[in-house]
């Protein structure tokens, strides 16, 4: 059963839910949005990693000012070669600069360390995340969630290949955590800053930081909500290489499993080897009356894979404990 706190909001320790607007219901759980209290904008810091995004920031920063007056706008210039820092300074946004490009995740971590707000809003600088969606994310966060993620529709994905890959990520992550993960890799999210900073040492410097922070929140028992958003075409050139980042597909799949519960990933593999060994043994015993080396190899592999999963489970637990100290 889903839980509510005394004010009618979400219990801050209950998995993932979907929030679609003033009223949203899924699986018998209903969330009602309330107007965001006046004066709360000062507690929000918008962290925007940017690399050579001067053109798009010219339009984005004024839109953010209009959508959430009084909020801190913090742009992390990740080694830009254009006038990104100058544009931000001229438009009144705070700027923290990396002397060389360190990666999207590194920029997010830098922003989280410098942000003053109790709530962090992470969004891209390329214009794909719309300022008008901010109030809906913050309203959902006000209902008691620890993190709210802007979930892209299938049509909003950057190409068919990316949409298919993200769909696989979402399904695998949903199976691992036992809750629906609507968009594992979305970079548009609002999160409580104290919760987010617990996991800074776990976050990678590259584009896979959303995967890590999402799985970390589920692992810690924090609640995650999803708000549907539409993503327009980006302004300028993407820094994601289909060839390079496509090669990371299987690495991310493996990472999803090891971040949350390695045993849930390794046990099915171990069981598959065991059943293969058992089947091959039954066949050779019935046909030749003997136990073959192949059967022994399959049984041994099953045991080894299970033990690797067991050790990985303990290592993962230690990493989380150390990362949150």
Cα–Cα distance measured from residue 251 to residue 259, given in angstroms and rounded to the nearest whole number: 12
148 in the same domain as 37? yes
Structure tokens given for 169:
């990520």
Q: Is 240 a residue whose pLDDT tops 60?
A: no
Cα–Cα distance measured from residue 177 to residue 207, given in angstroms and rounded to the nearest whole number: 21
Q: Could you tell me the sign of the dihedral formed by the alpha carbons of 284, 290, 294, 297, in that order? A: positive
- Residues 64, 88: contact at Cβ < 8 Å? no
Q: Does residue 251 lie within any of the structural domains?
A: no
Q: Which structural domain, as residue segments, surrounds residue 308?
A: 261-324
219 in the same domain as 125? yes
For 122, half-sphere exposure in the C-beta direction (CA atoms, 13 angstrom radius) is 27
pLDDT at residue 1, rounded to an integer: 42
Determine if residue 225 is left, alpha or beta; phi over 0 gives left, psi from -120 to 50 gives alpha, anything else beta. Answer: beta
CATH number for the domain including 22?
3.90.550.10
Q: Does residue 154 lie within any of the structural domains?
A: yes
Q: Does residue 171 lie within any of the structural domains?
A: yes
Q: Is 24 a residue whose pLDDT tops 50?
A: no
Condensed to tens digits (0 to 9), the pLDDT of residues 80-119 reads 999 999 999 999 999 999 999 999 999 999 999 999 999 9
pTM of the model: 0.74
Final residue of a domain: which of 181, 207, 240?
240
SS3 226: strand
Share of the chain above pLDDT 90, in %: 52
SS3 98: strand
Q: Which residue would you say has higher pLDDT here, 199 or 208?
A: 199
For residue 252, what pLDDT band results from cuts at 50, 70 and 90?
confident
282 in the same domain as 208? no
Q: Is 238 a residue whose pLDDT tops 80?
A: no
Give the N- to C-terminal CA distance of the chain in Å, as an integer: 31
Q: Is 155 a residue whose pLDDT tops 90?
A: no
Average pLDDT of the chain, as a whole number: 82
Query: If 0-12 CB within 10 Å is exposed, 13-18 middle and 19+ buried, where does residue 312 land?
Result: middle
Q: Which of 126, 112, 114, 144 is nearest to 34 (CA)?
A: 144
104 in the same domain as 25? yes
- Residues 202, 319: contact at Cβ < 8 Å? yes
Final residue of a domain: which of 205, 240, 275?
240
159 in the same domain as 292? no
Point out the least confidently predicted range of 50-64, 172-186, 255-269: 255-269
Share of the chain above pLDDT 70, in %: 78
For residue 246, what pLDDT band results from cuts at 50, 70 and 90?
low
Q: Does residue 148 lie within any of the structural domains?
A: yes
Local structure of residue 221 (DSSP, 8 states): T
Domain count, the chain: 2
């Amino acid at each position: 059963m889903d839980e509510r706190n005394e004010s009618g909001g979400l219990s801050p320790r209950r998995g993932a839910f979907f929030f679609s607007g003033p009223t949203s219901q899924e699986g018998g759980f209903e969330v009602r949005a309330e107007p965001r209290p006046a004066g709360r904008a000062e507690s929000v810091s918008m962290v925007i990693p940017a690399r050579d995004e001067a053109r798009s920031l010219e339009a984005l920063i004024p839109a953010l000012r209009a959508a959430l007056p009084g909020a801190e706008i913090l742009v992390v210039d990740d080694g830009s070669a254009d006038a990104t820092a100058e544009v931000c300074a001229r438009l009144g946004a705070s700027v923290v600069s990396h002397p060389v490009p360190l990666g999207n995740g590194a920029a997010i971590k830098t922003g989280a360390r410098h942000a003053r707000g109790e709530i962090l809003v992470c969004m891209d600088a390329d214009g794909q995340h719309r300022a008008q969606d901010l109030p809906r994310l913050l309203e959902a966060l006000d209902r008691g969630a620890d993190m709210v993620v802007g979930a892209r529709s299938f049509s909003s994905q950057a190409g068919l290949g990316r949409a298919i890959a993200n769909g696989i990520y979402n399904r695998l992550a949903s199976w691992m955590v036992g809750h629906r993960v609507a968009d594992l890799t979305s970079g548009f999210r609002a999160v409580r800053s104290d919760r987010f900073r617990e996991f800074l040492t776990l976050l990678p410097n590259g584009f896979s930081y959303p995967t890590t922070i999402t799985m970390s929140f589920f692992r810690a028992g924090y609640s995650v909500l999803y708000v549907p958003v539409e993503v327009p075409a980006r302004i300028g050139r993407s820094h994601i290489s289909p060839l390079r980042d496509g090669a990371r597909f299987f690495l991310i799949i493996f990472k999803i499993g090891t971040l949350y519960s390695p045993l849930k990933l390794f046990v099915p593999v171990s069981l598959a080897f065991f059943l293969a060994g058992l089947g091959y043994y039954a066949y050779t015993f019935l046909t030749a009356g003997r136990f073959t080396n192949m059967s022994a190899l399959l049984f041994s592999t099953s045991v080894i894979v299970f033990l690797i999963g067991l050790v990985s489970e303990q290592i993962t637990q230690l990493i989380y404990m150390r990362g949150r100290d």
